[in-house]
Amino acid sequence: MLRTLTKGARALALFTAVCLAACGGTDETAETEGMGETEPAPQVEQEPTAPATGGMLNPNEATRDELLTVPNLDESLADVLIQGRPFDNMLGVDQVLAGPLDEEQRDSVYTRLWMPIDLNTATAEEILLIPGVGPRMQHEFEEYRPYSAIEQFRREIGKYVDDAEVARLERYVEIR
């Protein structure tokens, strides 16, 4: 029993050290509590900092290197996007990508590369560019116009989809 408890205590201490290291602990080493041993803190690979827009890259602002991290974008497409700047809306971006990429590939791109569309002025075509949005949901987006606050969007669209989907859709929209 003592041996099991010691392993459990050691596992708990290691887990705590990993958590502290992941949270940006200040020490390079983690001392296992009550063991008197010093072990190197596990190296946690950190993801690149996401852009402020819900993890989306703005096609007008993303660097070439950032564009190259987006699924289905190669060097030539990244260069064409950069040369096409500034884009007024996502329809312009879609025009650039529609030739070389099919709809499924563009949907994949739009999970990472997007300019939020205004809920009150976006066209049906712009709304339909949001991955997973079809004609029925596009109609619901338009039905509740004008939106005065994002909370109204959450409430109205939440009648049709769960909270997780509302949060996903919210990444693509704004109210200006």
In terms of domains, do 88 and 107 share one? yes
The yes-or-no verdict on residue 16 having pLDDT over 70 is no
Give the per-residue pLDDT at 39.
41
Q: Which of 75, 99, 115 is the last residue of a domain?
A: 115
Q: How far apart are CA 112 and CA 12, in angstroms?
A: 37
Q: What percent of the chain has pLDDT over 70?
A: 69
* Residue 122, in any domain of the structure: yes
Under 8 Å between Cβ of 175 and 148: yes
The yes-or-no verdict on residue 18 having pLDDT over 80 is no
What's the one-letter identity of residue 94? D
Q: How many structural domains does the chain have? A: 3
Question: Around Cβ 172, how many Cβ atoms within 10 Å?
Answer: 26
CATH number of the domain that residue 122 is part of: 1.10.150.320
* DSSP letter for each residue of 22-78: HTT-S-SEEEETTTTEEEEPPP-PPPPPPPTTTTPBPTTT--HHHHTTSTT--HHHH
The model's pLDDT over 87-100, given as tens digits with 9 standing for 90+, comes to: 999 999 999 999 99
* Residue 84, in any domain of the structure: yes
* Residue 36, in any domain of the structure: yes
For 28, the token pair is 């390079």
Residue with the bigger pLDDT between 32 and 127: it is 127
Under 8 Å between Cβ of 90 and 147: no
Give the per-residue pLDDT at 55.
82
In terms of domains, do 165 and 136 share one? yes
Give the per-residue pLDDT at 118.
98
Q: How far apart are CA 81 and CA 113, in angstroms?
A: 11
The yes-or-no verdict on residue 64 having pLDDT over 60 is yes
In terms of domains, do 72 and 99 share one? yes
Residues of the domain holding 82: 51-115
Q: What pLDDT band is residue 132 in, cutting at 50, 70 and 90?
A: very high
- In DSSP terms, 118 is beta-bridged to 174
Give the per-residue pLDDT at 4.
40
